[in-house]
Each structure stands twice: as structure tokens, then as C-alpha cells.
Chains A and B, each alone.
Chain A
Amino acid sequence: MTAIDAAFRRLRASGEKGLVVYLTAGDPTPAASLRYLRAAADAGADIIEVGVPFSDPTADGPTIEAASRRALSSGMNVAGALELVRKFRGTHATPIVLFGYFNPFYRYGWSSLCKDAREAGVDGFLVVDLPFEESGEALPSIRKAGLDWIPLAAPTSGMARVRAVDRAGSGFLYLISVTGVTGVRKTLPPPVAAWTRKVAKATRLPVAVGFGISSPAMAAAATRHADAAVVGSACVKIVERNGRGSRGPAELSRFVRSLKKALR
């Protein structure tokens, strides 16, 4: 059982829904981003996705694109993200998913990446532009290192694909709520609930709903039929507003607490 499996088992046992927080590694600096990660964990995030910045983030909206730019100019890369996780592991046990685009991971080399990631304390990988059809060169290394490969399902996927990615992946299934790029949305369209229920019924993995969730009420609504909500851009906006300032982690902490409260 991986740390992510254990987290969902614990959540189910206590009858609460999970909160997955996304933050970009190195945004705005490696040191500041470590403070934000710790604040999110202390405030009750069940799982943290640590985003590895990429120069061409085609699945991301303006908020995470800007965070990626800030992180890249602070010198962040795959090795830096692993170092960040290693430091985080010195104080926290919260499961970490390394979240990013294929090319930087590929450049590092999957076999050494998975070994180094395991050593640093990473629990799983989520690769935005790696559909399961192309996962052949990454998946064996991920499995060998005992890490989870978090698959994605989109509103356009169709149930046959949803079942296939559910079989191929482990940890949890990341359910993309709407067609589009990442970013804060005021509401999620009504079909999301019915579709989430359909996916949750047909899959064996816990389901985490992401894209657009920006408030405690939205998180609660999104998890009515799912196991967890992913909140990314709304958290990154707090980093964007506060930067290295000391009030940033405190504001993130308040926000994460309010999200988690709505999921209990």
C-alpha cells in the first residue's frame, strides 16, 4: 500500500472527503515555496501536487502559466523540485505527487528520475501530456520504484477510456471537471455532478475532481460523488499576491483550512 492509498483509506474510514492542493515548485523562490508547502500541509491538505514548471504549459491557464514563469526564473527544474520534496520530507509526511509535463521528466531520464524521486520522498507522478497509450517507457520505472501513476479522465474521454485509464493507473483518478485549461472558475457546469457519479461508480480508484474549483462551497459540491477535490489555481493566486512575503503562507493556511472544513 502506498502513502496515497493509505491517505484515501484513512479518509474513507473517517467519512471525510480529501483535499488535494496544487502548488508550483519554486514559486516564487525555492525557499518561499517550501514555506507554502509546509503551510498547506499543516492546514490539512491530504495530498500535495508539486508542479514542476515547464516553458510551454499548454494545458494551463494564465495563473499557473505565470507561476511556471516565476519558478523558472528562480532556477527551478526537476532536480530542484526533488530537492524541495526532500526538504519537505524532513518535517512532513503528507503524500506528494510530482505534477508536470513530459519533456523535463523525459530529459532527466525515467529510470534515474523514479529512483531519485523515491529517495526524495515523492509518492507518485502525474504527467499532464502523457496519455496511457504513450506511457510505455515511463510506467515500468514508476512501478519499479513503488510509486503511483495518477491517470487523468476528461469530460470528453468516454467510459471505455475512463475504464482503461482506471486500470492502468494507481493512487487516484484525476477527473478533469470541464474541457479547458486550468484556472479559477466561479461555478462548475451542472453536468459535472452526474458525470462524476458515473465515473466514480465505474472505477476502482478513488476519484479526485479538479479544474476550476476555487471555494469551499465548490469543493464540497464537487466531492458529492467523488473522494477528493483538487484546488490549484486558487492556491497559486495566493502565492502570486503575496510572493515571498511572510503573510502569504498564513493566508494560504487560512484558505486551506476553510476548504478542508467544507470537506469534513
Chain B
Amino acid sequence: MAKRKGNRMPDPAGHFGSFGGRYVAETLMSALIELEKAYRKAWGDRSFHRELDGLLKSYAGRPTPLYFAGRLTEKAGGARIYIKREDLAHTGSHKINNTLGQGLLARRMGKRRVIAETGAGQHGVATATVCARMGIPCEIYMGEEDVRRQSHNVFRMRLLGARVNPVTSGSRTLKDAMNEALRDWVTNVRTTYYLIGSTAGPHPYPEMVRDFQSVIGREALPQFRKAEGKLPTAVVACVGGGSNAMGIFTSFLRYPGVRLYGVEAGGLGLSSGKHGATLSRGKVGVLHGSKSFLLQDATGQILEAHSISAGLDYPGVGPEHAWLKETGRAEYVSVTDAQALSGFSLLSLYEGIQPALESSHAVAFAYRLAKKMRSSETVLVNLSGRGDKDMGILMEMGEGGRDGD
């Protein structure tokens, strides 16, 4: 069994420094306390880990490989670039790590119904998949705009037996899907398990989702050591809510020499105001149950985010990332829609790997970073998902059909 050393953060009330916590309606408080207790009990239970580890292996396809991107490295002409292949996990992204964990937890808690929010649809598909396997009915809330631009995943969810509820309020994206899921949960709290897909939301979700995703780093660290005989110089991951980034960062936090980079959605550029760069441009506030950085106006109203990738199109970010930014342990940067598209093309043309548009942000930044680094240095990129779901958007953008240079 992999080493599962307790992380010191958050504190018992769910605070990461001054971030995190539990800002929810009173009706949900007991449910969150019940969930926290059930989670602690499961996490300390060998039989829970045996079952989860077994499923991660036989069902989700773990461990996912670490891949040396030789041609991309050559093209960049700097640091050696490695890719953690979460795109090869079952359902096409890292999201399955968390939904398997929480799915088992929901069953242990005797919940008869599962709800979830989704942006790009990857978490929705991973939730619908686990619910199909366990025979639990599930309903997915998804913004109408995302239903349109990620129709491929909507179709998948429906084929998996899930009900997809399009959300028509606000910006009709991930934020509004989460609002609606919270309204459902506050109504059906006694029977329903709310399966949050990111390291966001009220305590214990940021901690629990991180723990379930930390399998990524627990695999990547020894894989990387084996390949290079040392730790990476830098680790790069995209950040919407922040689950894949926390998944890989967590194992490297204790090595201060390893630089951690979270890549946010720069949208049409930070100066355009149309972006999802919460940590770069946001201010501290409370949304969806926890205190973190938020895109908001001067009077505390939440602003709409913008990104070509539905999964990064969110005006908040997980509280642990806010804390990592504040302490300086991780650095947060942004990559525009256009740069992300070129990240997609690069990996596609030089390595034959087509990343999700979310992960393309990490690829674009890692490439830019590697270029400026020495050939003795290394960059580890978490490739959180594959790009099949984005073919519609890429076709609309006029990408593809272009010959390689």
C-alpha cells in the first residue's frame, strides 16, 4: 500500500491558514460534519483502501505512466519534459480517482442518490461512470453553455444512465452548476450524497478531494526518480478549482527545491477582463462554502469567468491553492486561450498526444518554461485529461487540418 502520511493542512475546522472553512447554510452543517466523520473513518480503514486501490488498478487503469516527451524536449531546446499521463485513466481524465473514492464513501454512508456539478463534463462522466458501476442513481448539474460546448460528454453521461440537468441561471457555466447542485443538496440532504469534483467547496471537500487525487503525485514521484535519478526542477499543472494540481503537488510540497506552478486560464488576456485567472487577479472572498480568491467586483458580487476550456471557466479556486500562493510555496501563472490552443497543437504534432484544453494550458506553460531552462533541468507536467471532448470546439476554432511544420 502506498505511503499515506497525514498532511498537516488543513486544521481540524478545515482552514488552510486564513482560507477554507465552512461557509454554508445551517441546513447543510450536520451533513458536512457527518461526511467528515465518515471520511476520516474510511481513510483510516485498511479495507476501504484495499477496495479503492483495487479499483484504481483494475478499473481505472492505474498506475498511469510517466512519459518522457523527447520530441517536445528537443523542440523546446531546454529542460527535459516529462508527462504524467492522467489522460490515460479510465473515462479520460484524473477525475475518476476522486469519484471512485467518494463513490465508495457514498455507498458506505448508505446514500441512495448522488448529485454532482460539472464544467467540462469530465467530472460528470467520471461520476456517472462510478454510479453506473455501483448501481446508484445520479443527477449531474451542468451549465447550459457547457452543455452546448461539451455535448460529447453530455451524450456520454446520458449513455451511462445519468440524468443531466442543464442550468440556465447566471453565466450558465460551472459556477451556476454548483449553485444548483447546492440547492438540490440543501433540499435532499438526508438521502443524497453531493460528489464535488474539485478541491473547492466547504470542508471537508478540499481536503478529501486532494487526498483522493494525491495518488497522482504518489505515483509520479517514484516514477520520476526512477527515470531521472532525482526530483524534477519544476512541476506544472492547470488550475480551475485545482484538483489535478493538488493531486500532483501534494507529494512534492515537502521538497522546497521543487518549484510548483499552477496555470490558470488567461482567457482573452488578463487585461481584457475575460479570463479565469482567480489567483492572479482575484480578491479574497467566500463562494460555494469556502474562503479563497474570487473574481468579484468592488461590492462583492461574483464576476463571470471566461475560458475556452469549460473546466477552467470558474471564478473561484480551491482554498489550499490560495494558501500555497500566500505562503509562496507555489507560483500561479496564466495562459491565454490562444496559447492553450498552441499547447494543444504542439503536443499533438510532436508527441501524438491530444490533451484536453484544460491540460493544454499546462502544456503551453511547461513548454515556455522549459525553453528558458538548462538541459540538465527537468519539468514534470500533469496531463490531467485527453482532448476527445474538445474536438467540437477545435473544429469551430478552425484548428486542425493543418499540416505539421
Interface residues of A (CB under 8 A from B): 54-59, 61, 65, 72, 77-79, 101-108, 128-131, 133-134, 152-158, 161, 165, 176, 179-181
With an 8 A cutoff between CB atoms, is B259 at the interface? no
CB contacts (< 8 Å) of A180 on chain B: these are 27, 186-187
Q: Are B25 and A128 in touch, CB under 8 angstroms?
A: yes
Within 8 Å by CB of B25, from A61, A104, A154, lies A154
Which of A54, A108, A156 has the largest count of B CB atoms less than 10 A from its CB?
Answer: A156
B392 to chain A, nearest CB (A): 28
CB nearest to A127 among chain B residues: B23
**Could you tell me if B299 and A78 are in contact, using CB atoms closer than 8 angstroms?**
yes
> Across the interface, do B169 and A65 meet the contact criterion of CB distance under 8 Å?
yes
Known: A106-B300, A107-B298, A129-B23. 14 other contacts (CB 8 A): A55-B302, A57-B179, A58-B179, A58-B182, A58-B288, A77-B299, A77-B301, A107-B300, A130-B23, A131-B26, A133-B22, A161-B30, A176-B27, A181-B186
Q: Evaluate whether A102 and B23 lie within 8 angstroms (CB atoms) in the complex, with A55-B170, A79-B299 already known.
A: yes
Per the bound structure, the CA–CA distance linking A101 and B302 in Å amounts to: 12
**B136 at interface, CB cutoff 8 A:** no
Partner of A106, one of B13, B187, B286: B286
17 intermolecular pairs with C-beta atoms under 8 Å apart: A56-B288, A56-B302, A58-B179, A58-B183, A58-B186, A77-B300, A78-B299, A79-B299, A103-B286, A103-B287, A103-B294, A106-B300, A131-B24, A155-B27, A156-B29, A158-B30, A161-B26
- Closest chain A CB from B317 CB (angstroms): 15
Residues of A within 8 A of B183 (CB): 58-59, 61, 181
Leading 8 A-B pairs by shortest Cβ distance: A107-B300, A104-B300, A77-B299, A154-B27, A180-B187, A152-B26, A58-B182, A55-B301
Taking a contact as CB atoms closer than 8 A, the residue among B25, B30, B189, B298 that contacts A58 in the complex is B25
Q: What is the bound-complex CA distance between A180 and B294, given in angstroms?
A: 26
> How far is it, in angstroms, between the C-alpha of A159 and the C-alpha of B138 when the chains are bound?
32
With A58-B183, A181-B186 in contact, is A153–B13 under 8 Å at CB? no
Known: A56-B287, A65-B169, A133-B13. A176 touches B26 (CB 8 A): yes
For B299, list chain A residues within 8 Å (CB): 77-79, 104, 107-108
Q: How far is the CB of B109 from chain A (nearest CB, A)?
A: 15
Most buried by A among B23, B24, B300: B300
Residue from B170, B179, B286 with most neighbouring chain A CB atoms (10 Å): B286
**Residue of B at shortest CB range from A128?**
B25
B190 on the A face (CB < 8 A): yes
Q: A18–B192 Cα gap in the complex (Å)? A: 35
B31 within 8 A of A: yes
B63 / chain A contacts, CB cutoff of 8 Å:
none
Q: Within the assembled complex, what's the spacing in Å between the Cα atoms of A211 and B109? A: 28
Q: Give residues 1-57 of B contacting A (CB, 8 Å).
A: 13, 21-31
CB of B359 closer than 8 Å to a CB of A: no
Question: Which residues on B sit within 8 Å (CB–CB) of A133?
Answer: 13, 21-22, 29
Q: Which residues of B168-210 are within 8 A (CB) of A? A: 169-170, 175, 179, 182-183, 186-190
Structural contact, A154 and B26, CB atoms closer than 8 A: yes
Query: Which of B13, B24, B27, B286 touches A179 (beta carbons < 8 Å)?
Result: B27
CB <8 Å contact, A157 and B30: yes
Contact A56 B26 (CB under 8 A): no
Within 8 A of A (CB), among B266-315: 283, 285-289, 294, 296, 298-302
Among residues of B, the one whose C-beta sits closest to the C-beta of A155 is B27
- Find chain B residues with CB under 8 A from A103 CB: 285-287, 294, 296, 300, 302
Candidates A54, A161, A181; contact of B301 at CB < 8 Å: A54
| In the complex, chain A residues whose CB is within 8 Å of the CB of B302 | 55-56, 103
Do residues B24 and A156 form an inter-chain contact, with CB atoms below 8 A? no
CB distance from A256 to the nearest CB of B (A): 26
Give the complex CA separation of A181 and B26 in angstroms.
12
Q: Which residues of A contact B285 (CB under 8 A)?
A: 103, 106-107
- Please tell me if the beta carbons of B29 and A161 are within 8 angstroms of each other in the complex: yes
| CB neighbours of B21 from chain A (8 A) | 133-134
Question: How long is the Cα–Cα vector from A176 to B298 in the complex, in angstroms?
Answer: 31
* B294 proximity list for chain A (CB < 8 A): 103
Q: How far is the CB of A25 from chain B (nearest CB, A)?
A: 12
B180 nearest CB neighbor, chain A only = A58
Q: Which residues of A contact B24 (CB under 8 A)?
A: 129, 131
- CB-CB nearest in chain B for A130: B23
Query: Which residues of A sit under 8 angstroms from B170, Cβ to Cβ?
Result: 55-56
- CA distance in complex: A143, B40 (Å): 36
How far, in angstroms, from A157 to B187 measured CA to CA in the complex? 14
Determine how close the nearest CB of chain A comes to the CB of B172; give it in whole angstroms: 13
Q: How distant is B116 from chain A, measured CB to nearest CB, in Å?
A: 16
